[in-house]
Structure 1
Amino acid sequence: MFSIYILTHNEQIDIAACIESAMLSDDIIVVDSVSSDRTVEIARQYPVRVVEHPFESHGKQRTWMLRSLETKYEWVYILEADERMTPELFEECVQAIEKSEAIGYYVAERVIFMDRWIKHCTQYPRYQMRLFRKDKVWFTDYGHTEREVCDGPTGFLKETYPHYTCSKGFSRWIEKHNRYSTDEAAETIAQLDRGQVSWRDLFGGRSEVERRRALKDLSLRLPWRPFLRFIYMYILLGGFLDGKPGFAWCTLQTFYEYLILLKVWERRHQPPVSAESASSSEGESLRPSP
């Protein structure tokens, strides 16, 4: 058996279905980033623990959760509110724990978008670290998201989990990715300044995770990246086979890439704000209007 963490922030639409899918476990902890909607109220209607903790970043939130919150079991699984546990995945997780061949396991997501599994243009199978021994894995920040650090061998599960990536509507998706693009711009600049593409991982990586990360590093250096990403996803990966949802998904991802490029340009060309001008601006903002 294993414990399940559920990460939430303003997830009143998804939280009930997520908790109900996770109730195959008898130890569920909802970790909420101080939601302003009814997420916590709804979660407390279920036999789960609910803990609120202010959000700093994806990596820090996960690491705080793992280090600070006690669990009933040594092994844990991380769910986000717009994801679901399935009986088949749960059973495979139990079997993997019993074998004890690794300290953590990657699980592939099935992106559900516009009521359809977008299989081709989402780079399926796209793996995330989800099941692991609590004392052997922690997380660091990477762009708008996180990256796992594993103290031991890892493996891959065959079963997948559904990810309802736009369940709260297109406006919420655009709002979130506008924020994400700011963090991605900062990470893009840092990666361009410090690193080179690992051609060894790109063509001969030991796992899909290594190859995907090397491909990401390469893509940061390509000209016309938004356009190339659309061609890559819609034509080369076969997004056209996903119908109307596939075209919409590829268009949204292209828009997201363009936002990142704009914010990279903005960061590189915007003049630095001096302490004097910053304090002056703050004083102006605090001055009452006539």
Structure 2
Amino acid sequence: MISVVILTKNEERDLPVCLASLGWCYDVHVLDSGSTDRTCEVAEHYGAKVSHHAFESFGKQRNYALDNLDIQHDWVLFLDADEVVTEQFQAAIMAAVSSSDEEVAGFYCCWKMMLEGKWLKRCGNFPKWQFRLLRRGKARFIDFGHGQKEGETLGRIEYIAEPYLHYSFSKGWAQWIERHNKYSCQEAAARLYTPPPWRKVFSRHGSVRNPALKSWLSRVPGWPVLHFLQAYVFNLGFLEGTPGLIYCINMSYHEFLIQIKMREIRKRKYNLNLAEYENSAVKEAPSYSKHRAPV
């Protein structure tokens, strides 16, 4: 009924737990983008079908999977290697696709952010929605920031409230910080050049409202501090102990990186425009030649 696609690169540590949670699925695909560890070997050990494709972006990689993998079912669930399907989430997605009419193109799904065995419900701003379960031929992905979101959609998108588990910090904080430093560059460009329309800030759907809010609030001076206060104080993140504090500090730091990189992009663009203007002014300035008067 449902096929699963997992995007990987050097995921030998997380992949076994992810695949072990998919014993109910008989059509699991691992689309690898150049692993140098045992990722592909692990995938084959668990019976997954392994394919290879150079990574360009998350949106393009997911579309490549839809277009090129030998997917057996009409419904496709996309997972990352550090995500785990619970029995409750499995039951929820099975029920959702079984009862959906032909006008349903897919579903937004949400996750439980896990750190040190604790679910960061409050400071993780649960629920956060991503378009992860779709009907083949009804939807595509487009890139947004460092990730992706739904693109062209033929039908409506509904919500599955039951979450799966997300272990974003399983490889340690050094890897998380390195990865999010890169992500912040992509987020800065997306928030500057392709921000969601202002009207989406007022959407009743969190999947639409939250990206719009972040895009516009990141232009506000002091936004990283406000982000920390909102998550740790007003959302009662402090009730989640040390893991909550660590998470809120690092997510605020991530927002700080995005904000200063937005500033850097603006400054670079200003300097480039100024240089182009000065070069143009020099070229267009009249040249005066001194001529000797005839004797």
Query: TM-score interval w.r.t. the shorter chain?
Result: 0.7 to 0.9
Question: Separation in 2 of the partners of 1:126 and 1:226?
Answer: 19
Q: Which ranges in structure 1 are unaligned for 5 or more consecutive residues?
A: 275-290
Question: Separation in 1 of the partners of 2:43 and 2:231?
Answer: 37
CA-to-aligned-CA distance 1:9-58 (integer Å, 9 cap, x gap): 11111011111111211100001111122211221212110011110011
Correspondence for 2:141 among 132, 139, 142: 139
Residue in structure 2 matched with residue 122 of structure 1 by the alignment = 124
Residue in structure 2 matched with residue 267 of structure 1 by the alignment = 265
- What's the CA shift for 1:196? 4.8
Alignment of 1:186 with 2:184, yes or no, is no
Question: Separation in 2 of the partners of 1:185 and 1:259?
Answer: 8
What SS class does the counterpart of residue 173 from structure 1 fall into?
Answer: helix
Residue in structure 2 matched with residue 100 of structure 1 by the alignment = 100
What SS class does the counterpart of residue 160 from structure 2 fall into?
Answer: strand
Where do 1:34-113 residues align within 5 Å? 34-101=34-101, 102-113=104-115
Question: Separation in 2 of the partners of 1:220 and 1:251?
Answer: 16
Report the residue type matching 2:76 in the other structure: V
Report the residue type matching 2:6 in the other structure: I
Where do 1:238-257 residues align within 5 Å? 238-257=236-255
Name the Cα RMSD after superposition. Answer: 1.8
Question: Separation in 2 of the partners of 1:246 and 1:208?
Answer: 22
Question: Separation in 2 of the partners of 1:87 and 1:177?
Answer: 30
TM-score by length of 1: 0.88
Contact 2:130 2:149 in 1 (8 A): no
Correspondence for 2:164 among 161, 175, 180: 161
What SS class does the counterpart of residue 44 from structure 1 fall into?
Answer: helix
Report the residue type matching 2:260 in the other structure: L
Question: Separation in 1 of the partners of 2:177 and 2:229?
Answer: 21
Contact 1:6 1:29 in 2 (8 A): yes
Where do 1:4-15 residues align within 5 Å? 4-15=4-15
Report the residue type matching 1:216 in the other structure: K
Contact 1:197 1:214 in 2 (8 A): yes
Report the residue type matching 2:39 in the other structure: T
Report the residue type matching 1:138 in the other structure: R
State how many pairs are aligned. 269
CA-to-aligned-CA distance 1:178-231 (integer Å, 9 cap, x gap): 110111121122146xx6522xx433x242212223322331332211111111
Counting aligned pairs with the same residue, the percent is 37
Report the residue type matching 1:122 in the other structure: G
Residue in structure 1 matched with residue 22 of structure 2 by the alignment = 22
What SS class does the counterpart of residue 109 from structure 2 fall into?
Answer: strand
Contact 2:75 2:136 in 1 (8 A): yes
Contact 1:55 1:61 in 2 (8 A): yes
Question: Separation in 1 of the partners of 2:75 and 2:255?
Answer: 36
What SS class does the counterpart of residue 227 from structure 1 fall into?
Answer: helix
Report the residue type matching 2:110 in the other structure: A
